[in-house]
Structure 1
Amino acid sequence: MVMKRLLGYLQPHRKALFWAFLLLLLATGADVAGPLLVKVFIDDYLTPATFPVQPLVWLGGGYFGLLIINVVMQYFQQFSFHRIALRVIQQLRLDVFGKVQHLGLSFFDRMPGGGLVSRITNDTEAVKELFVSVLSTFVQNIVLILGIFVSLFLLDVELAAYCLFLLPLIYGLMLAYRRLSHRAYQEVRRKLSELNAKLSEAIQGMNVIQAFRQEKRLQQEFEKTNGEHYRANLKTVHLNGMLLRPAIDLLYVLTIMAVLGFFGVKIEDSAFSIGVLYAFINLLDRLFEPVNQMMQQLSFLQQSLVSASRVFELLDEEELAPAKEGSETPEITEGRIVFNHVTFSYDGRTDVLKDISFTAEPGQTVALVGHTGSGKTSIINLLMRFYPLKQGEITIDGVPLQKFGDQELRKKVGLVLQDPFLFTGTVEENIRLHNPDLTEEDVKETAKFVQADPFIDQLPQGYQEPIGERGATFSSGQRQLLSFARTMALNPKILVLDEATASVDTETEENIQKSLSKMRKGRTTIAIAHRLSTVQDADLILVLHQGEIVERGTHQELLSRKGLYHKMYLLQQGMEKDTAS
């Protein structure tokens, strides 16, 4: 099944494959015809000791011509097969990367990042070896073996028929190796994936590892997994040493002994041609060389098939990001948000949101507050349609959330996260995000609007300043300002803020708060807040506790009730006073 799917990628290259096979047949014909010319030379000229010049020149020229044809055809057919293989793997990688872009966040929640990277890189690289080396080697050598058997039958039909018994023996060795090695190579790829996952985790959390002195523990865990990977590889080495070249070499020796024995018996009954014996031994030697090559490639074949099954498992993943339903094309015009009896669970067992209902009118600011794990981020995740909603309903302007197209939803709902993500590129590219509708002036106006222009103008290259991976060379406040600019460049109708000022200093926060006041005008805003001082002017504050809305109202209304919000406010006020003192 896996091989069938892999071969399906060759369908668009049928014409190129035809020419590659034609070149392969020409190269094979030239290769196997050489011993036949040598046989003619031995029987017709060397044995009788007659050496006419002109026939020998033609014979030698023909032999030399076959060598030249073989070399030239081998080059072009190998180039053709490899070019097809590289195009196939290029398409496979595009398919895998494209599929990953459309998987739901729930998939990434349970799939370690390093393991996923391993499938996209290491496993596709192993599949590349299947197309570049393994398949081309098998095709070339199978054609060569068929050509050799044709020549053997031309030399001696009886002995060639006996030699046909070699084919099931060779096939049996290959089948035994494949069955025994399949599980071993599965373990190798799994352990390699675990190694990548641990490596990725260690690199991303290096500051935490060093801060808490976890180097030794991580080293021991990595050493354990690395040892398991070594032992899994060792199993494949044992199989390779037993069933690959040694077994074929033994079969080759037994075959030569049998052929010589056949000619020894035959000489008692009648004379036989020395040229036929030479050609037969020469062709058998050429027969076992491609067999050895194919046996050597079996380990790569098994690795490639295991890797391909992991790649196809990813391509067949059904946990896609929630998508638009229906044929309607509604638009977000007002920004009225309604959560109606929404209950949600990530794992299907524990509800993180329980019967959530509220309305955010157009232009209003609704703040979500509560302790860690109360469900604030889950509300944002559902509003952004990162996860599918199975119980309750969310509407925007009276239209169910699932009815909106991705383009409309992402354009009209702007998101700013607590930990902003920047792409590798320039400052301008991170604000524009390759949006063709934004001019250079639009980018600068947006940066000015969110108070980002002062620090951008101070950069050596301004808006063309390069940004490294995840914006590591910028401060957290600068990254947050750029994420503000990126969001506002789209002029969204709805603004979603996940503690957007948590990573900036007090002075920068004051500037952003002024910008936020302008940004919120005419826009519905849903804001997660840990510092209650940032949402005192919100039109509605929802207090969440263990997935439920336990209080709702304005800042003053909630304080007057002396409930959970009042306790949180007093606690934060006390902490701020202690900090100030």
Structure 2
Amino acid sequence: MNENYPRENLTRKHVLRRLLRYTAPHKKQLLFAFIILILATGADVLGPIVAKIFIDDFLTPRRFDGQPLTLLAVSFVCLYVFTALFHYLQLINFQKVALKIIQQLRVDVFNKVQHLGLSFFDKTPGGSLISRITNDTEAIKELFVTVLSTIVQSTVFLIGIFIGMFALNVKLAAYCLIILPVLFVLMYLYRRVSSVIFRVTREKLSQLNARLNESLQGMAIIQAMRQEKRLRKEFDHINTEHRDASLKNIKLNSLLLRPAVQLIYVLGIVLVLSYFGIQSFHLSVSIGVIFAFVNYLDRFFEPVNSMMQQLMNFQQATVSAERVFGLLDETELAPTQEGQSAHRISAGNIEFKNVSFSYDGKTEVLKNINFTARPGETVALVGHTGSGKSSIINLLMRFYPIEKGDILIDGKSLKTFSDQELRAKVGLVLQDPFIFAGDVKSNIRLNNASISDEAIKTSAQFVQADRFIAKLPKGYDEPIGERGSTFSSGQRQLLSFARTMAIDPKILVLDEATANVDTETEEAIQTALEKMRKGRTTIAIAHRLSTIQDADQILVLHHGEIVERGNHQELLSQKGLYHKMYLLQQGEAEVTA
């Protein structure tokens, strides 16, 4: 499993800087929210001072003048009303910005995944990617929605509280500043210890998703081969490791979060009361000041507790952000056009020139491949499993970069064509076609606005898919479930044929396109293929030699090399590998008959 991407080891400062860059488009809204927050904090901080005035100027001297008291009471109530209103406004604005940011981040991650090369997906479990796009971005959302807004609010509030403290008693407020470095040390210790635990937790969750995705995709084989018990044990093992990591996190939180902060709070109260107690031996002590100071100290630990509680989410978010940015920084992209040429595929002439290729950079799966497929010709690729047939198709479709040699289309290097031109002029039909959730019409059109409803019906008729579509309750508007599970393999294949013919390609690539259809459907498709190949260059992988006997050229591959070439009769006369394969399949056909 490729759980750790090479670019994932990002420093925390770097991660935070990148996260904060997402706030750049929302500066005005953030500035407005910040101003509202300052107003809310100011109104909140003034509350204890009003209470202090009431205690010292009215309650202690027993002076109860109606008008001043009424004014003081109204001021006190208004301060709290304004505080509630301003806090509501700033919270809404911070949350709106946060949701916009996470929306953009998810779009960026999804867009990045769409442009990664197939070589990346070859070694990365799909469930692990899903975990990064969903679970990790959700954790980052908490950073913007809850953590950062809480930290900003709490920081502003703490500054306001200290301003209030210094306004009441400079010396005692200076003593209370001792609390800050103690809290910073506590936060630092928590961050250092918890980051390791959170990273393990996220990795185990990613592995759980990967294993779950694999199990769901292969459920038929799991049940058929009675693998439920083995997979349950493997899943339980990973799940136990995830539980143990989560339990360590809970223990850490139980020790370093609220209990530790509560201890510091008690020590702060002791400090304040001791100060005023000692001072009372020599000087008169204002009850209002004591009340205001204790009130401020109590309020001081509200945001501190909030920030300490958010440290857990902060750690989760930063670890998740490392994983997400590791994905965003992935360099293993799908090959794209080199240069800015505007070459067009007109005739569809294909030429492989001394092409060699390796998936892992060590073992070559293709060795010095040379052949030409002229317009209107059909070139068939045959050979045993692992001989390199699919690798030739992968390179022609530019799913992987060409390492040695070159592939020319109409005399121009494959590398110089734009993605749009290549995908519009090269049609691909796989052995196991992918059907999207939607309806029949959308699966043939694939959001290509240039394909009209009439063109959809024409392409379906061309490959004789209209026969089964006409029998569907809603015809071309018939809903299709995930991966087209309600359709037979033959019907799914016919849909993929119609999808390919709808773009009217110059080059047709068939990867054992008739392997999963019944005999009657295969005959219909073979008839359609004869029409499809006219005027088009066709490259076809075939396992059943009976389907490519009319090919203009047959290439026999063995261990990544072309060992034989010619048409059907020429290859049979050579009495080589093709002849042996043909006799073997003929024998199997006779036995089956």
Q: Shorter chain as normaliser: what TM range? A: over 0.9
Q: 1:133 aligns with which of 146, 155, 168?
A: 146
Counterpart CA distance in 1 for 2:217 and 2:446 is 25
- Quote the residue 2:370 is aligned against: 357
Counterpart CA distance in 2 for 1:104 and 1:213 is 34
Counterpart CA distance in 1 for 2:430 and 2:341 is 30
- Quote the residue 1:197 is aligned against: 210
Counterpart CA distance in 2 for 1:352 and 1:2 is 40
Q: Cα deviation per residue 1:232-279 (whole Å; 9 max; x = unaligned)?
A: 111111211111111000000011011111111100111010000000
Please state how far the C-alpha of 1:110 moved relative to its aligned partner: 0.7
- Quote the residue 1:553 is aligned against: 566
Counterpart CA distance in 1 for 2:158 and 2:172 is 16
Q: 1:441 aligns with which of 454, 463, 473?
A: 454
SS of residue paired to 1:270: coil
Please state how far the C-alpha of 1:39 moved relative to its aligned partner: 0.2
User: Percent identity among equivalent residues?
Assistant: 64
Question: 1:164-179 residue pairs with structure 2 within 5 A?
Answer: 164-179=177-192
Question: 1:140-539 residue pairs with structure 2 within 5 A?
Answer: 140-539=153-552
SS of residue paired to 2:569: helix
SS of residue paired to 1:347: coil
SS of residue paired to 1:419: coil
Q: Cα deviation per residue 1:538-565 (whole Å; 9 max; x = unaligned)?
A: 0000000111111000000000111000
- Quote the residue 2:4 is aligned against: none
Counterpart residue type for residue 132 of structure 1: V
Number of residue equivalences: 580
Q: Cα deviation per residue 1:356-414 (whole Å; 9 max; x = unaligned)?
A: 11111111000000011110000000000000011011000110000000000000000
Counterpart residue type for residue 153 of structure 1: F
Counterpart CA distance in 2 for 1:100 and 1:320 is 9
Please state how far the C-alpha of 1:496 moved relative to its aligned partner: 0.1
SS of residue paired to 1:268: coil
Q: Are 1:108 and 2:121 an aligned pair?
A: yes
Counterpart residue type for residue 521 of structure 2: T
Q: 2:53 aligns with which of 10, 15, 40?
A: 40
Q: Cα deviation per residue 1:156-193 (whole Å; 9 max; x = unaligned)?
A: 00000111111111111111100111111000000000
Counterpart CA distance in 1 for 2:23 and 2:166 is 34
Counterpart CA distance in 2 for 1:289 and 1:430 is 56
Counterpart residue type for residue 557 of structure 1: E
Unaligned runs of 5+ in 2: 1-13
- Quote the residue 1:14 is aligned against: 27
Please state how far the C-alpha of 1:424 moved relative to its aligned partner: 1.1
Please state how far the C-alpha of 1:136 moved relative to its aligned partner: 0.5
Counterpart CA distance in 2 for 1:237 and 1:326 is 54
Counterpart residue type for residue 134 of structure 1: V
Counterpart residue type for residue 3 of structure 1: L
Q: Cα deviation per residue 1:294-315 (whole Å; 9 max; x = unaligned)?
A: 0001010000000001000000
Counterpart CA distance in 2 for 1:223 and 1:382 is 40
Please state how far the C-alpha of 1:76 moved relative to its aligned partner: 0.7
Counterpart CA distance in 1 for 2:494 and 2:146 is 50
Counterpart residue type for residue 270 of structure 2: M
Please state how far the C-alpha of 1:353 moved relative to its aligned partner: 0.5
Counterpart residue type for residue 218 of structure 2: G
SS of residue paired to 1:342: strand
Please state how far the C-alpha of 1:446 moved relative to its aligned partner: 0.6
Counterpart CA distance in 1 for 2:326 and 2:451 is 39
Please state how far the C-alpha of 1:473 moved relative to its aligned partner: 0.7
Question: 1:76-95 residue pairs with structure 2 within 5 A?
Answer: 76-95=89-108
Counterpart CA distance in 2 for 1:293 and 1:433 is 49
Counterpart CA distance in 2 for 1:438 and 1:378 is 31
- Quote the residue 2:8 is aligned against: none
Counterpart CA distance in 1 for 2:367 and 2:87 is 69
Counterpart CA distance in 2 for 1:254 and 1:436 is 70
SS of residue paired to 2:290: helix
Q: Cα deviation per residue 1:5-29 (whole Å; 9 max; x = unaligned)?
A: 0000000000000100011011111
Counterpart CA distance in 2 for 1:194 and 1:438 is 41
- The TM-score normalised by the length of structure 1 is 0.99
Counterpart CA distance in 2 for 1:326 and 1:133 is 45
Counterpart residue type for residue 150 of structure 1: I
Counterpart residue type for residue 502 of structure 1: A
Counterpart CA distance in 2 for 1:5 and 1:171 is 24
Q: Cα deviation per residue 1:22-47 (whole Å; 9 max; x = unaligned)?
A: 11011111111100000000000000
Counterpart residue type for residue 290 of structure 1: P
Counterpart CA distance in 1 for 2:329 and 2:44 is 44
Counterpart CA distance in 2 for 1:135 and 1:483 is 48
Counterpart CA distance in 2 for 1:443 and 1:362 is 25
SS of residue paired to 1:541: strand
Counterpart CA distance in 1 for 2:494 and 2:269 is 78
SS of residue paired to 1:378: helix
Counterpart CA distance in 1 for 2:434 and 2:416 is 28
Q: Cα deviation per residue 1:313-354 (whole Å; 9 max; x = unaligned)?
A: 000001110000112110011111011111000000111111
Counterpart residue type for residue 71 of structure 2: W
SS of residue paired to 2:280: helix
Counterpart CA distance in 2 for 1:244 and 1:436 is 56
Counterpart CA distance in 2 for 1:442 and 1:478 is 19
Please state how far the C-alpha of 1:285 moved relative to its aligned partner: 0.1
Counterpart CA distance in 2 for 1:440 and 1:99 is 32
Counterpart residue type for residue 419 of structure 1: D
Unaligned runs of 5+ in 1: none
Counterpart CA distance in 1 for 2:318 and 2:452 is 49
Counterpart CA distance in 2 for 1:564 and 1:435 is 43
